Chain A
Amino acid sequence: MNIVACIKQTFDTEAKIAVSGGQVSDQGVNLILNPYDEYAVEEAIRLKEKNGGEVVVVSVGTDKTQEALRYCLAMGADRAVLVQDPALGKADSASVSVTLGKLLADMEYDVILCGNQAVDDGASAVPSRLAEKLDLPQANVITALEIGDGSATVRREVDGGSEILDVQLPALFSAQKGLNEVRYPSLPGIMKAKRKELKVVGLGDLGLSADDVAPKTEIVNVELPPARQAGKVLKGEVADVVAELVTLLKNEAKVI
């Protein structure tokens, strides 16, 4: 069974966001493997451990992204491909899905795994866009995956509950927290990762032009949300402060 895991490198979720000149500043920000993509990579490795085959990790990014890919190799992925090109500097979900779609078109796979969203733009768009480019069935936000004969059974989180779906393979799945417990790379894993293949390709190698991956959206401004002001802290006997709170909620905030 061949599995492809698609990953993105993002800001650490602990990062405080600073804006300068209408853009988010990356000064001093720690970069991590997008947390939801960790579940995707972990699941890919588990599928391989159970069924044999190969795990390839792919990403669209920059020099720095190699670090995130090495981390995946240290977890147990077999090889990695990074698509890096100046024309992808302002890539949006359309650019990334066209790029990955072209990269994967020549690969053999049974399952593609992605994180269900990236913690930076929170768009949840690349998995579905990529599935469309590759004409694959999709199931997003999955918390369980069981491979059967030519199909997979997944649990997908939806509003107000979850769905159990049968999906024909090959297919694309996007991972949600709860799908698995992510392993830490072992020391031998980290050593081995240094010798694993990490191939860097440009758009030209994929037969794509800058026009093919032109973003369809553009960020024209970024600003910080208005800061919330600290309100009233009620002090005193429990019965008194509770009575005061209920009155405030009813008459001032008008929310009950």
Chain B
Amino acid sequence: MSIVVFAEQREGALRKIATEVVSEGKRLAAAAGTTLKVLLAGSGVAGLADEIKTFGADEIAVVDNDALKDYSTETYAAVLAAYLQQENPELVLLGHSAIGKDLAPRVAARLDAGLVPDCVKIDYADGDFSFVHPVYAGKALATYKVKSAVKIATLRPNVFAAAEQAGAGAVSDFAADIPASRTTLKEMVVSGGDRPELTEADVICSGGRGLGKPEGFEIIEQLADALGAAVGSSRAAVDAGWREHQYQVGQTGKVVSPNLYVACGISGAIQHLAGMGSSKCIVAVNKDPEANIFNVADFGIEGDLYKVLPELITKLKEVTGN
């Protein structure tokens, strides 16, 4: 028995979610008295094994192949499935990222394995794992058991702490047959500039209908600059065409759990709260004292955001030095 983690990298850099998943894998391996094996796949990625080692991996299997330069479901699924067939682990963990969400169910179907997606907690007790997955976008928490021999779960980003810890870290090459992919990447369009990815960001500044106009996001951008934050949006602002959907936070957008979430001109509709309710600290700026967002905010400022935010940006810059 063992636990296997798929370590996600992008363009040769280990993703933050990978460090979180390896750390949680190590914690569970210790609880279950088993070994943690990490599969690292990509092109020119062998050097990342050292970094993975510091998060407690006992074994690291590396597939370094030009054919894995760009992520494709078919090539990566072939490699991961082959590794799992060789190792026959009890538990397989991936991040609930764009790649993990795409890859985990494809491989689960190939192995006839049960899958619990987007977990916020995993426990090991009485020889079995239990998995907590928020349903209805966080309006309820469901606890799952998996009945198949191989159990697969994806972990929500920003929920599990990355922790440096000792592991044997034995590195070996893994040879897998990589099939031709029926999908070809033509172009990667990067958005958001230097800003952190919404689901990985420690701080998120979001704007809503209360901004009153599309240009209102300029001041949200400035606030985000002062905090090194990502910029999010309520559904109302997306539906008004002020912001693209990929920035929408909520039940029909992204579910986020940053350390700090600053909601500006957002009333706090139930769908929005579902998407950001697990943030560690919520700040609300709204001129409507009755706004629902104040019912969940740790700190609220009742006032005109166009007066409050410039002052806040100045003060934050003094503190953060950004």
Residues of A within 8 A of B (CB): 11, 13-17, 19, 24, 35-36, 92-94, 97, 119-133, 137-141, 143, 153, 155, 157-168, 171, 176-178, 214-225, 228, 230-235, 238-239, 241-243, 245-246, 248-250, 253, 255-256
Residues of B within 8 Å of A165, CB to CB, are 183-186
Contact partner of A122 among B137, B199, B289, B297, CB < 8 A? B137
Shortest distance in angstroms between A140's beta carbon and chain B's nearest beta carbon?
5
Question: Assuming A159-B199, A218-B144, A225-B138, is B280 touching A255 (CB within 8 A)?
Answer: yes
Q: Beyond A122-B255, A143-B245, A159-B197: 16 further Cβ-contacts under 8 Å?
A: A13-B251, A16-B270, A35-B252, A124-B105, A126-B105, A138-B183, A139-B183, A214-B147, A216-B115, A217-B115, A218-B144, A220-B143, A221-B143, A246-B319, A253-B280, A255-B203
Binary per-residue interface labels of chain B (215-232) against chain A in the complex, 1 for a CB within 8 Å, 0 otherwise: 000000000000100000
The answer to whether A218 touches B147 (Cβ under 8 A) is yes
Binary per-residue interface labels of chain B (290-302) against chain A in the complex, 1 for a CB within 8 Å, 0 otherwise: 0000111111111
Question: Assuming A217-B144, A232-B298, A234-B300, is B106 touching A132 (CB within 8 A)?
Answer: yes
The answer to whether A160 touches B307 (Cβ under 8 A) is no
Name which of A126, A231, A235 has the most chain B CB atoms within 10 A of its CB.
A231
Any A CB within 8 A of the CB of B82: no
The answer to whether A216 touches B74 (Cβ under 8 A) is no
The answer to whether A93 touches B105 (Cβ under 8 A) is yes
Residues of A within 8 Å of B147, CB to CB, are 214-218
Cα separation A166 to B185 with both chains bound (whole Å)? 7
Question: Assuming A125-B115, A221-B142, is B270 touching A14 (CB within 8 A)?
Answer: yes
Contact partner of B114 among A94, A124, A159, CB < 8 A? A94
Question: Assuming A123-B117, A238-B307, is B142 touching A245 (CB within 8 A)?
Answer: no
Q: CB-nearest residue of chain A relative to B277?
A: A228
Residues of A within 8 Å of B227, CB to CB, are 256
Cα separation A221 to B142 with both chains bound (whole Å)? 6
Contact partner of A216 among B113, B134, B188, CB < 8 A? B113
Within 8 A of A (CB), among B292-322: 294-303, 307-308, 311-312, 315-316, 319-320
Would you mind naming 18 contact pairs between A and B with Cβ atoms under 8 Å apart? A13-B252, A17-B140, A125-B104, A125-B105, A130-B109, A140-B102, A159-B98, A167-B182, A176-B245, A178-B245, A216-B148, A217-B115, A219-B143, A228-B295, A234-B299, A238-B308, A242-B312, A246-B315
Question: Assuming A167-B182, A217-B147, is B98 touching A141 (CB within 8 A)?
Answer: yes
The answer to whether A245 touches B301 (Cβ under 8 A) is yes
The answer to whether A253 touches B298 (Cβ under 8 A) is yes
The answer to whether B245 touches A177 (Cβ under 8 A) is yes
Please classify the interface of chain B as helix (H, G, I), strand (E, B), loop, or mixed, using the class held by over half of its residues. mixed
Q: CB-nearest residue of chain A relative to B295?
A: A230
Any A CB within 8 A of the CB of B124: no
Q: CB-nearest residue of chain B relative to A97?
A: B109
Q: CB-nearest residue of chain B relative to A225?
A: B141
Cα separation A49 to B255 with both chains bound (whole Å)? 35
Shortest distance in angstroms between A244's beta carbon and chain B's nearest beta carbon?
9
Residues of A within 8 Å of B133, CB to CB, are 121
What is the interface size of chain B, counting residues whose CB is below 8 A from a CB of the partner? 94
Any A CB within 8 A of the CB of B20: no
The answer to whether A255 touches B259 (Cβ under 8 A) is yes
Question: Assuming A92-B114, A255-B281, is B143 touching A222 (CB within 8 A)?
Answer: yes
Shortest distance in angstroms between B265's beta carbon and chain A's nearest beta carbon?
16
The answer to whether B190 touches A161 (Cβ under 8 A) is yes
Contact partner of A253 among B99, B188, B246, B260, CB < 8 A? B260
The answer to whether B184 touches A220 (Cβ under 8 A) is no
Residues of A within 8 Å of B270, CB to CB, are 14, 16
Any A CB within 8 A of the CB of B97: yes
Binary per-residue interface labels of chain B (83-114) against chain A in the complex, 1 for a CB within 8 Å, 0 otherwise: 00000000000000111011111101110111
Residues of A within 8 Å of B190, CB to CB, are 160-161
Cα separation A129 to B112 with both chains bound (whole Å)? 10
Q: 4 closest A-B pairs (Cβ-Cβ)?
A: A216-B114, A137-B182, A132-B109, A128-B105
Cα separation A248 to B281 with both chains bound (whole Å)? 11
The answer to whether A137 touches B136 (Cβ under 8 A) is no
Binary per-residue interface labels of chain B (72-86) against chain A in the complex, 1 for a CB within 8 Å, 0 otherwise: 011001000000000
The answer to whether B188 touches A11 (Cβ under 8 A) is no
